[in-house]
Amino acid sequence: MSARFFPRIVRSIRHITSTPLKRSSYLIPVGSACVLSFGYATYHNRRHLFNFPTVFAFRSNNGSGDNYGPLHPNFIADVVEMVAPAVVFIEIKDQRRRDYRTGAPITQSNGSGFIVESDGLILTNAHVVYGKPNSIVKVKLQDGREFNGTIETVDIQSDLATVRIPCKDLPILRLGNSSSLRPGEWVVALGSPLSLSNTITAGVISSKQRMSKELGLRDRNMEYIQTDAAITFGNSGGPLVNMKGEAIGINAMKVTAGISFAIPADHARAFLEKRKEGKFVPVAQVRRYLGITMLSLTPMLLLDLQQRHDLPPEVHHGVLVWKIIVSSPAHLAGIQPGDVVTHIDGHAVHSAKDVYRSLESGGEVLDIVVVRRTGTYHLKVKPESTS
Catalytic residue ranges:
127, 159, 236
Residue type for position 138: K
- For the chain, how long is the longest CA-to-CA vector? 119
Nearest-angstrom CA–CA distance, 299 and 212: 12
Residue 25 burial by CB count (10 A; 0-12/13-18/19+): exposed, middle or buried? exposed
43 to 50, 53, 61, 94, 252: CA distances (angstroms): 10, 18, 36, 76, 56
Strand partners, 370: 341, 377
Burial pattern 40-63, b for ≥16 Cβ within 10 A else e, equals: eeeeeeeeeeeeeeeeeeeebeee
Closest CA to 349 of 362, 336, 331, 364: 362
Closest CA to 204 of 173, 225, 222, 232: 225
Asked if 148 and 106 count as a contact pair (C-beta separation under 8 A), the reply is no
Sign, CA dihedral 197-202-208-209, equals negative
Query: Residue 23: CB partners within 8 Å, gap ≥ 6?
Result: 17
3-state secondary structure 99-137: CCCCCCEEEEEEEEEEEEECCCEEEECHHHHCCCCCEEE
Query: Residue 168: CB partners within 8 Å, gap ≥ 6?
Result: 118, 119, 120
Nearest-angstrom CA–CA distance, 310 and 318: 16
Give the up-direction half-sphere exposure of residue 223: CA atoms within 13 A in the CB hemisphere.
10
Residue type for position 215: L
Measured CA angle at 250 (ends 160, 252), to 5 deg = 75
